[in-house]
Homo-oligomer: A and B are copies of this chain.
């Protein structure tokens, strides 16, 4: 609690305190639900032979993040870590800690931690979709640990902590850049380093015989679209927590409200506090609804104009792109602007999908088009909400510039992290001679599973289980008919 709160009405403070803490707790749970959403989206959109491995990756990165963000990451976000001290020394953070931020009713520290953890877990898991189907299990674990402990926290500190260099410079309401672009560009780095799955973009044509190459191509098909669709619904639901909760992520600032005197009449009280407390929150909810709706129609319009079929995967991803697009601006946009942002996000998604295809980069579930480019563009689209034709282009340029810086940070951090993890894997492999660690090592760069594992599917090779036994129905019965 800020010391300046002393002059405020204690019932007011108490009411605000409980309201924002309850809202942020629930929002954290909703964001946590997005983990299930990503798991379903990616698993359903991927091949059946890697279904369990997909589940495993999404599950284990959550657990890695839980531990590493708690120990290393969150202190950085709070500016209370040796890492931040180094940043201050190097000029990457404001050297003098900010003074008292005024009469702010702040969150309970554990609830704030939980909320921030849910954000970090989202950022880490976004990457998984781009590298899935070929990344070595342990390499992915190292990535998850590094991003949870350092990369995401440094960016979150820089943009959202009052001591961060970009605080007040880059407008990113709930993390279009900090969470989504960062995760999306990390995924792009991974997808480029790993190269495509065997069977995609001609990759592996020389390495495996033509018959197996063709088979792999077939087996790369999305294997369970209804799961993916459920995943997208759950992501949308979770996004209400993501955006709405962010309204109070930094607590609630009472400054500007003069309610210290007992003489303030209830009506004035209502006007002054109610509007500030819940109105911003309400705006966010409406925008978080309208942008994805509009984005879906943008994607659909593209298909209609191009006389294409209505590919459900892209329409579902379109909604997510709309959500990413509004995440930076949910507090500032009007309803009409939210729809425009949604439409633009939908088209950015489509264009990025086409660009990736031309560049022969294999991003199996479209993580980069949904989160990467759209996340950066979202920052730029904040210009729309400034409502000025004069300052608009400047705002657009500034926002895009800083967003691109963060995206590049994510990209190169992922490159370095994956490189380091490939070295670690190599050392373990050589020194340990552990048969176990052979699971998930590629001959050359130690980041990728072996071609044998990839062709056979990681479920069988690494997890020793089969994701489905739907075809095995009541053999006893069938065999009864056979004459017993």
A67 to B342, CA, bound (A): 12
Digit string of A205-234 for contact with B (CB within 8 Å is 1, else 0)?
000110110011011011111110110111
* Total identical chains: 3
Question: A14 → chain B, closest Cβ, in Å?
Answer: 5
Most B CB contacts (10 A, CB to CB) among A21, A26, A218, A308 go to: A26
- Given the known interface contacts A110-B286, A223-B469, A456-B474, the answer about A35 and B307 at a Cβ–Cβ threshold of 8 Å is no
A401 interface residue per 8 A CB criterion:
no
* Contact partners of A313 in chain B: CB under 8 A: 465
User: A476 — nearest CB in chain B belongs to which residue?
Assistant: B455
What's the Cα separation between A439 and B270 when bound, in Å?
54
CB distance from A211 to the nearest CB of B (A): 5
A224/B478 in contact, CB under 8 A: no
Q: Is the CB of A36 within 8 A of B67?
A: no
CB pairs A–B below 8 angstroms (29 shown):
A9-B11, A9-B266, A10-B264, A10-B269, A14-B269, A25-B244, A28-B285, A29-B240, A32-B236, A33-B233, A36-B237, A43-B229, A48-B470, A59-B319, A63-B297, A66-B290, A111-B278, A137-B310, A209-B484, A212-B475, A224-B226, A225-B466, A304-B436, A310-B464, A454-B476, A455-B476, A456-B476, A457-B473, A457-B476
* B23 with A309: CB separation less than 8 A: no
**By the criterion CB–CB under 8 Å, are B219 and A476 in contact?**
yes
A129 at the interface (CB under 8 A from B): no
- Contact of A212 (CB < 8 Å), options: B70, B223, B311, B479: B479
**By the criterion CB–CB under 8 Å, are B304 and A237 in contact?**
no
Please measure, in the bound complex, the distance between the C-alpha atom of A17 and the C-alpha atom of B19, giving whole angstroms.
10
Query: Knowing that A29-B240, A39-B229, A63-B294 are A-B contacts, what are 11 other residue pairs whose CB atoms are under 8 Å apart, sorted by A's residue number?
Result: A16-B18, A22-B22, A25-B244, A26-B26, A52-B312, A59-B315, A111-B285, A225-B467, A304-B436, A309-B462, A312-B463
Answer whether residue A55 sits at the interface, using C-beta atoms and an 8 A cutoff. Answer: yes
Query: What's the least CB distance linking A247 to chain B, in Å?
Result: 11
Q: A260-288 CB contact bits vs B (8 Å, 1 = yes)?
A: 00001111011101100111011101100
Residues of A81-134 contacting chain B, CB below 8 A: 108-111, 113-114, 117
From B56, B137, B278, B457, give the contact of A21 (CB < 8 A): B278
In angstroms, how far is the closest chain B Cβ from the Cβ of A200? 13
A472: contacting residue among B6, B62, B219, B296, CB under 8 A? B219
Q: Is A293 at the interface (CB under 8 A from chain B)? A: yes
Residues B212 and A476 in contact, CB atoms below 8 Å apart? yes
Name A465's contact: one of B10, B225, B227, B335 (CB within 8 Å): B225
Closest Cβ of chain B: how far from A57's Cβ, in Å? 11
Q: Determine whether A289 belongs to the interface, using a CB cutoff of 8 Å to chain B.
A: yes
> Which chain B residues border A264 with CB–CB below 8 Å?
10
- In the complex, which residue of chain B has the Cβ closest to the Cβ of A40? B230
A5 within 8 A of B: yes
- Closest B-chain residue to A477, C-beta based? B456
Interface residue? A316 (CB, 8 A): yes
Chain B proximity of A162: nearest CB distance (Å): 21
User: Is A446's beta carbon under 8 Å from chain B?
Assistant: no
What are the 3 closest A-B residue pairs judged by CB atoms, nearest first?
A: A110-B282, A455-B476, A215-B475
CB-CB under 8 A from A44, the residues of chain B are 226
Nearest-neighbor residue (CB-CB) of A112 within chain B: B282
Closest to A46 in B: B469
Q: Which residue of chain B has its CB nearest to the CB of A306?
A: B436
CA distance A75 to B329 in the complex (A): 25
A312 touches B475 (CB 8 A): no
The yes or no answer to A12 lying at the interface (CB within 8 A) is yes
Q: Which residues of B contact A9 (CB under 8 A)?
A: 11, 266
- Chain B nearest CB: distance from A204 CB in Å? 10
Q: Is A51 an interface residue (CB 8 A)?
A: yes
Q: Which of A425-484 contact B (CB under 8 A)?
A: 434-436, 439, 452, 454-457, 460, 462-480, 482, 484
